[in-house]
Each structure stands twice: as C-alpha cells, then as structure tokens.
Structure 1
Amino acid sequence: MSKVVLITGGSSGIGKSIGEFLHKKGFVVYGTSRHPEKITSSQFPLIALEVRDVQSIQKAITEVISKSGKLDILINNAGVGITGPIEEIPIEEIKNNFETNLFGPIEVIKAVLPQMRLQKSGTIINITSIAGYMGLPYRGIYSASKGALELITEALRMEVKPFGIQVTNVAPGDFATNIAAGRYHAPLLNGSAYERAYGTTLSMMDAHVHSGSNPEEMAEAIYKIIQHPNPKIHYKVGAFLQKFSIVLKRILPDKWYEKMLMKHYQL
C-alpha cells in the first residue's frame, strides 16, 4: 500500500513542491491550507487546517485517517516569517509567530501520535530553518521559534522511538518561495534608532529569498529521508555557505562569529 503523507502548509512554496514531488512518486498526499477552497490548481487534495486552532487540527487529522485508514508521514511545514527590531515588534506579533511556528506544530504532532502508536510506525519531519541555529539581527523572533522546534524535535525523538516512530528536523536555507510576501514586517519607522540598519538588513533578506534555491531541492531531500530506515536527527538543505555558517558557529569563538554576522549585515 502507498504511504499516506500529510503536509501542513501544502498549498504554496516548499510545502507545495514537496507534495507534488511525493504525489508523482506514488504517495497518497494530503496538504493543508487555511482556505483550501481558494486553491484550484493543487495536484493533491487540500484539507482545511489552521495550526493555531486545536479543533481544526483534530478535525483535519480525523479526516485524513477516515479517508485513508492510516497516517504514515507528517511533514510539519506550515510557518510564517517575522522581521524587525525586537524592541519594536508588538508582543502580539511575537506570540502569533510562536503560535504558528512552534505551538501549532506541537499540537499537530500530538494529534497524529495516537494513530502512529497504533500502527507501531510513523515518521514526523519538522521543517525548521538554518536561521534557527543562530540569533540573526532583525530576525531574532523567527530564529527563536525555529530553534525551539529543533530542540523539541530532539526530545520528542527519544520519547517516541520505543513506539517505532521516527522524528527528524530539516532546516532549509533561503529558497525562492513567496514566504517574504506573507512575512510580518515591523514597520520601518522614520526617526527610529534602527531605521538605517533595519532598512539595509530588510532589503538584504528579501534579495536572498528572491535569489534562493529551487524548492524542488527540499522535495528531493524529504523523499530521501522518508526512504531511509533510520533518519538522522538534523538535516540542512540549502546553499553551501548557509550550511557552512552553522559549522563556523560551532568552531569560532562567540565574538568572532558575532563580528562576522555584523559585517555580513553591514551593522
């Protein structure tokens, strides 16, 4: 029987690319969207799911299991970007980011685990970010939410391994998707103490996304992970320099690494 895959945030960007790739490989793929009725071009079924709403999550998982009789693979992909000086980002926007990037994925995991335990098998793949390995200027909240999901994955992996369930992280770098359009930007305020530095960094971040890698790279990486009988804890997918930045953080003194980042961001 074909394996059943659920991808949160499967209507665009990386999630859509993963879904299309796995669909062509013969997997039974379900994607999620907050408004699936607005999407008319999906190659696989889309189910309504809002990761900040526990009832919506439970309903979506129940629908997948009732239609397919099982759920083999969860790809926790739904997430949102956020930029701005930490001092100037409204606390409501910080909470919203953590609700979407951390608490939502945790609730989806909690909803699928009973079925995977029943099956004595399953794979959970959390899409994090290379930004989650370091505190990046004007992306501190995003880095923190994705970094927290990395650590949750490490702990969860040990807790559910006795049930035959595999858990892993995949941290992408910059990919050419529409994430910048959906990102919350703290407004660039005239006269702000951060006006020049934040403006420069914001332009640089958007340029990185627009010139990013092809999302199909992520789809191919996910496919290989699914095929592996014992996946690693962490995977990084992206440009060499982005992945190498994690290595540098491990080996360089903290202040050297900080100086390197500040030079990169022209701070």
Structure 2
Amino acid sequence: MTSVLITGASRGIGRAIATELAARGHRVIATARRPEDLDGLDVEQRLRLDVTDQESIDRALLAAGEIDVLVSNAGTTIRAPLENVPLSEVEALFQLNTFGPLRLVQGVLPAMRERGAGRIVFISSIQGRLVLPAIGPYGASKWALEAIAETLAIEAGHFGVKVSVVQPGAVTSGGAERAKSFFTENDPYTPLYEQLGALRGESVTSEEVAATVADTIEQSDPPLRVPVGTPARAALEARKAAPENAPFLPVPLNW
C-alpha cells in the first residue's frame, strides 16, 4: 500500500484523485486549507495544509508521517488581459500554483532521497506548454511549474525519485467558473475573451484526470509529461509541431 499526500483535495480534481486512490487501496492523506471541506472523504487522514504557509506545511507533513507519493494539485486561475491584471493577483497566483508546490517538494524530498524512492506528481495543464489569451498569468505560473518539475526530474532522478507532470486541458471541475475576472468596463480585450470557449476545446472530467494520476502513480517507469485525454494530446502535438521561427498571427477578433 502506497502512502499518498494530496494537496487541494477539498473539491474538483483533488477530491476526485483522493477518491480514486483510496478506492485502489492506497493510504491517502487528503489536505486542504479548510479541513472541514474534506468531510465525507473516505481516506486515511484529513489534514489542514495551506501550500502558501510554511508553518502549515511543516505541521501537516509531521502529522502525515512517511509519504511515498506527493500529488501537488492545489491551484487556482484568474481571467485578465496582461495589460491591466493587478500584479498583486499575479503574485498570489504564483504563490499558490508555483511556489506552493516547490515548498511541498522541499518538505518531502529529503526523506524520499534518503530512502532512494518516491514519486512526485504535479497537476499542471496544457497551458504549461502553450498559452491562451486572457489566461496568461495562469499559463505563466504553469510554465514555471513545468520548469521546476523538469529540473527536479533530473536532479532527484539520480536518487530514485520519479517526477511526472499531468496535463489536462479544460476540465469540468468548476475552476474556470470560479475564477476571478479583472476586465474593465468597455475593456478592449473583451471580444477576445468571449472567444475563449472555442479555443479551449472539449472538456474532460475530474474523474478522468484522477484515473490518469492513479495510473501514472502505479506505473513502474512513468513518463515525465502525461496529457489527459485526446483533446489535450492533440493541442500539445499541434503546439510541438508549430515552427518556432514562423510569424506570429494573432487570433482574429469578431468585433
């Protein structure tokens, strides 16, 4: 039985991951900023953990005991053009989406390295490899997270620790609907934002993401990057195939 700590397990993808792994017989430590939001989860432990607070992380890791797998899932998104997004919101996004996972890694990695075994799974996005208009700050936080993950795969791989990045596209978890928006009145970028739905493609469910995470954990030699579903794979393949030296053509606006 593998011991798995999951961040951001109160709802959406994180809760689905906790449910899936528990059903497969793993020892699951589900964490969230509000532990009462974890009520109803049939898991081994339910702990308070705020990835932006080092003391909270330290207390949770002490209570969790030995951790074989870290699933770094906690995160959020916002909607805003880069021209007028509040920088304080961008900083908060990086604290949660990028620095938070790194804090957790620094907490669990020493013991994994000493044991010569461990798994770290980051929940990223296809936007860790491409960008969408009006979601630039989120994409930037995920690009940075993927750089951390790739570096970690090289560094920690020498000590038996395996790293994977799970990359869904649009997910029917409610995260996009809950996102704060920072468009101004009569914002010139609104027409571009209104076309975002067509750019995002088909959605997958939180349960599909959870099954992919569980399958990745249970592989003996998992890949570094794991797209979730056909739409995500197609988008990433198209981005990879696009020539880097071609002129950049913005998406036409339907004014």
Tell me: CA distance 1:190–1:215, structure 2 relative to 1, closer, same or farther (3 Å). Answer: same
Q: Which runs of 5+ in 2 are unaligned?
A: none
Separation (CA, whole Å) in 1 of partners of 2:29 and 2:53: 19
Residue in 1 that maps onto 2:17: 18
For residue 93 of structure 1, the aligned residue among 69, 89, 106 is: 89
**C-alpha distance in 1, partners of 2:73/2:187?**
34
- Deviation digits for residues 213-260 of structure 1 (CA, Å, limit 9, x no counterpart): 22221122112211211211111003x23321221222223587954x
Shift of 1:192: 2.5
Tell whether the 8 Å contact from 2:6 to 2:72 is kept in structure 1 after alignment: yes
For residue 10 of structure 1, give the secondary structure of its aligned residue in structure 2. coil
SS at match of 1:9: coil
Q: For residue 116 of structure 1, what is the aligned residue in structure 2? A: 112
Q: C-alpha root-mean-square deviation of aligned residues, in Å?
A: 2.2
Over the matched positions of the two proteins, sequence identity in percent amounts to 32
* 8 Å CA contact retained: 1:249, 1:257: no
The one-letter code sitting in structure 2 at the alignment partner of 1:182 is R
The answer to which structure has the higher helix fraction is: 1
User: What's 2:204 paired with?
Assistant: 213
Q: How many residues align?
A: 254
- 2:231 aligned with 1:237, yes or no? no
Q: TM-score, normalised by structure 1?
A: 0.88
Go from structure 1 to structure 2 and tell me whether the alpha carbon gap of 1:38 and 1:253 turns closer, same or farther (over 3 Å shift).
closer
SS at match of 1:86: coil
SS in 1 for 2:251: helix
Question: Per the alignment, in what secondary structure is the counterpart of residue 104 of structure 1?
Answer: helix
Shift in alpha-carbon separation, 1:32–1:26, aligned structure 2, 3 A: same
TM-score (norm 2): 0.91
CA apart distance, 1:194? 2.0
Distance in 2, matches of 1:155 and 1:163, equals: 14
Residue matched to 1:72? 68
Stretches (4+) displaced over 6 A: none
Relative to structure 1, the CA distance from residue 152 to residue 144 in structure 2 (aligned partners, 3 Å threshold; closer, same or farther) is same
1:125 to 117, 121, 128: 121
- Deviation per CA, 1:177-207, whole angstroms, max 9, x where unpaired? 1212432211x32232223333x146x28x9
